[in-house]
A and B are shown apart, each in its own frame.
Chain A
Amino acid sequence: MKDKSINILNFIGLGFFEPAIRLASGEETKKNLVALFKKIVLPILSVGLFLLLWSAGSSHLYNIEKEFRIEKAFNERGEAAARLERSCIDSGSKDCQITTLPSPSQVWVAYKSLLADHASISAKKDAFAEKVAATNVKRAEQGLDAITYTGRPSFVDQIFTSLKTVFAGFLLALFIAVPIGIMLGLSESLRSSVNWLIQILKPVSPVVWLLLVSMIVNTLGKNSDGDSSFTISFISVGLCAMWATLVNTSMGVSSVDKDYINVAKVLQLNIGQKVFKIILPSSFPLIFTGLRITLSVAWMVLIAIELLAQSPGLGSFVWEEFQNGANDSNSKIIVAMFVIGIIGFLLDRIMLTIQKFVTFTEET
């Protein structure tokens, strides 16, 4: 049981819990305590230190902003106004709240309010669905589209929209880059003929891809109504992110160990068998490294692209909050930042686990 759970943890890349489990089962207390300290306590301490620095920094920024306002009131409207301003700021009233880098506690409050907001919106959605259920049945009989909820999406909804977009983009990258990469890897003349194109297109900024894709999609989608922003954003994400996979796949395929090729020759495998039984399995580790990079790049550019394309998701959430300028907007942006970071980390771990499942390791 214990060894099994340790193996699973190591497999999914959460091996740092290992000493805790070993300690719980009373195994080599001293050694595991040291390991626990290194792997869990120290990271927690460093997170704590980070929070401390953050809150000190934010309170410093708060004071600068506050003193500036009071000074300004004093210079413009005299001493009485300055006193009024100070008491107003200290009372925490919404009229003269200071917006700067929010403190950790403010962010925590914002996080909870976002969750509460999500709960209330889902309740509204359920109520709405209940209300229109009968009408929708009738509309379906008449051959009309069902009425759907068109209210504001909650933060959690935005996360799922973003995940949907990133997976669509990732799959697009996968289905474009892997086959093309294999073809490029197999043929040296093909590789050198498109080499310049790849080298030039690879460093192009996500923003430019977005504009390019929207030029094409908008023209092609002239006749169809409906929102093209999802199409535009997922295609841009896919195009931005596919290069790592493309390059890695072609490199992996072109650099298969000569011994394995000799085996294929001696066994007289035909070209299809050679590709699927020798070349692909042996280049899987490199292809998967490419796919991991692709997914993390996809997640990174997604936020920027959503922000620009005004397609729903975390990116537009951040942008809207920034434009909104409400009292807790800044805190919500920071919440979104952490959520983006944590999801990116989890996605990478998922890819790592899949990679360990499907690829071989050369030696132990």
Chain B
Amino acid sequence: MAYIELRNVSKSFGTGKDKTEVLSNINLTIEEGEFVAIVGFTGSGKTTLINLISGLLMPDEGQVLFKGEPVTGPSHERGVIFQNYSLLPWLNVRNNVGMAVKEAFKKMSKKDRNKRVEDYVEMVNLSPAIGKLPKELSGGMRQRVSVTRALSMSPDVILMDEPLSALDALTRGNLQQEILKIWNKDKKTALLITNDVDEGILMADRIIPLKPGPKATLGPEYKINLERPRDKTALNSNDEYKRLRNSIIEYLIQIGEQRSSKKETTYTLPEIKPQIKSTPFRRLSFS
């Protein structure tokens, strides 16, 4: 039985004339312990897809199944790492993480909860900043807190909605390694949404491109049979990596072109000729 399963899922926004079908007929199965990456253009409905799986949105048609049960709303079993961190600005790192721990482990004693918070903050090397407010942290540090918050609830699945896209390239590389390190410990099921093919190949077992919306559907999947742990610099000279990267990018460029050619509309211009009534400014003559 698949761990997460999407059956013929469709989702639209708006009503009447403004109705746009963002996702159409999505079928996806993720097995337990698998790391799946979904790669797509911006605006192709990636966030909608992850909101459907997390339970923040309900599908119009089709079913989202988690462990064989339909998803009816958000749950602690599916931890979400948001694109824009979504840390509460009035709480420091400890309380941001502590709030999640408190909700996920209601019966835990206060001491144990504090211990858990500190352990998880330690795991992402943020212990020195545990008393700081989000505004005092850099983007990378904030996203680490967000990762910690999601993981501290010990979810069965980690859903990542472009977690690293707002970060600079160097921080991004570091955080990729850190997330992989944490993931390697207990090999939880993970779904990563990204717009970076390299990131997908580095981190995932499987990459599925999302064709651009409206009416986005999933493209053919690419299995990544690269030995873990993967080293970013070593990968650059790996032939399998190069082959995968090229074929995925080629596919994306191809569907990207389809989208842009589809959008071409011809507008008929009204036949108007400029009428010169007067010359308010003297013409400059360059003789």
Contact surface of A with B, Cβ cutoff 8 Å: 259-260, 262-263, 265-269, 277-278, 281-282, 284, 359-364
Evaluate contact between A267 and B89: CB separation under 8 angstroms.
no
Q: Contacts A277-B99, A361-B135, A363-B135 known; A266 to B74 CB distance under 8 Å?
A: yes
Residues of B within 8 A of A282 (CB): 88-90
Selected from B54, B84, B89, the residue in CB contact (under 8 A) with A266 is B54
Evaluate contact between A362 and B135: CB separation under 8 angstroms.
yes
Residues of A within 8 A of B82 (CB): 259, 262-263
Check if B245 is an interface residue, CB within 8 A of chain A.
no
Check if B56 is an interface residue, CB within 8 A of chain A.
yes
Check if B193 is an interface residue, CB within 8 A of chain A.
no
Residues of A within 8 A of B84 (CB): 259
Evaluate contact between B89 and A360: CB separation under 8 angstroms.
yes
Selected from B73, B90, B103, the residue in CB contact (under 8 A) with A269 is B103
Shortest C-beta distance, B73 to chain A (Å), equals 7
Residues of B within 8 A of A269 (CB): 103
Residues of B within 8 A of A259 (CB): 82, 84, 86
Chain B, range 114-141, C-beta contacts under 8 Å to A: 133, 135-136
Shortest C-beta distance, B203 to chain A (Å), equals 22
Residues of B within 8 A of A267 (CB): 76, 99-100, 103-104, 153
Residues of B within 8 A of A284 (CB): 90
Check if B80 is an interface residue, CB within 8 A of chain A.
yes
Shortest C-beta distance, A223 to chain B (Å), equals 49
Shortest C-beta distance, A276 to chain B (Å), equals 12
Evaluate contact between B56 and A262: CB separation under 8 angstroms.
yes
Check if B171 is an interface residue, CB within 8 A of chain A.
no
Chain B, range 128-161, C-beta contacts under 8 Å to A: 133, 135-136, 153
Evaluate contact between B133 and A360: CB separation under 8 angstroms.
yes
Shortest C-beta distance, A334 to chain B (Å), equals 45
Q: For the complex, what is the distance from the CA of A277 to the CA of B86, rounded to whole Å?
A: 14
Evaluate contact between A260 and B86: CB separation under 8 angstroms.
yes
Evaluate contact between A362 and B89: CB separation under 8 angstroms.
yes
A265-B55, A281-B90 are known; give 17 further A-B pairs, CB within 8 A. Answer: A259-B84, A260-B88, A262-B56, A266-B79, A266-B80, A267-B76, A267-B100, A268-B75, A282-B89, A282-B90, A284-B90, A360-B89, A360-B135, A361-B135, A362-B89, A363-B135, A364-B135
Residues of B within 8 A of A265 (CB): 55-56, 73-74
Residues of A within 8 A of B135 (CB): 360-364
Evaluate contact between A263 and B88: CB separation under 8 angstroms.
yes
Selected from B55, B79, B90, the residue in CB contact (under 8 A) with A360 is B90
CB-CB nearest 6 A-B residue pairs: A360-B90, A259-B86, A281-B90, A265-B74, A267-B103, A266-B74
Residues of A within 8 A of B99 (CB): 267, 277
Q: For the complex, what is the distance from the CA of A282 to the CA of B102, rounded to whole Å?
A: 20
Chain B, range 172-212, C-beta contacts under 8 Å to A: none
Residues of A within 8 A of B153 (CB): 267
Residues of A within 8 A of B74 (CB): 265-266, 268
Shortest C-beta distance, A288 to chain B (Å), equals 13
Shortest C-beta distance, B88 to chain A (Å), equals 6
Q: For the complex, what is the distance from the CA of A262 to the CA of B75, rounded to whole Å?
A: 12
Query: What sequence of 0s and 1s flags, for each residue 81-112 of chain B, a beta carbon within 8 Å of any chain A beta carbon?
Result: 01010101111000000011001100000000
Q: For the complex, what is the distance from the CA of A178 to the CA of B74, rounded to whole Å?
A: 30
Residues of B within 8 A of A363 (CB): 135
Q: Contacts A360-B133, A361-B135 known; A263 to B75 CB distance under 8 Å?
A: no
* CB-based nearest A residue for B85: A259
Residues of A within 8 A of B54 (CB): 266
Q: For the complex, what is the distance from the CA of A284 to the CA of B88, rounded to whole Å?
A: 13
Residues of B within 8 A of A359 (CB): 90
Q: For the complex, what is the distance from the CA of A185 to the CA of B86, rounded to whole Å?
A: 22
Interchain Cβ contacts under 8 Å between A and B, 10 examples = A259-B84, A260-B86, A263-B82, A263-B88, A265-B56, A265-B74, A268-B74, A277-B99, A278-B88, A361-B89
Residues of A within 8 A of B73 (CB): 265
Evaluate contact between A268 and B88: CB separation under 8 angstroms.
no
Evaluate contact between A263 and B103: CB separation under 8 angstroms.
no
Q: Contacts A360-B133, A362-B135, A363-B135 known; A266 to B56 CB distance under 8 Å?
A: yes
Q: For the complex, what is the distance from the CA of A269 to the CA of B75, rounded to whole Å?
A: 10
Q: For the complex, what is the distance from the CA of A363 to the CA of B142, rounded to whole Å?
A: 13
Shortest C-beta distance, B61 to chain A (Å), equals 22
Q: For the complex, what is the distance from the CA of A155 to the CA of B201, rounded to whole Å?
A: 79
Residues of B within 8 A of A260 (CB): 86, 88
Evaluate contact between B86 and A262: CB separation under 8 angstroms.
yes
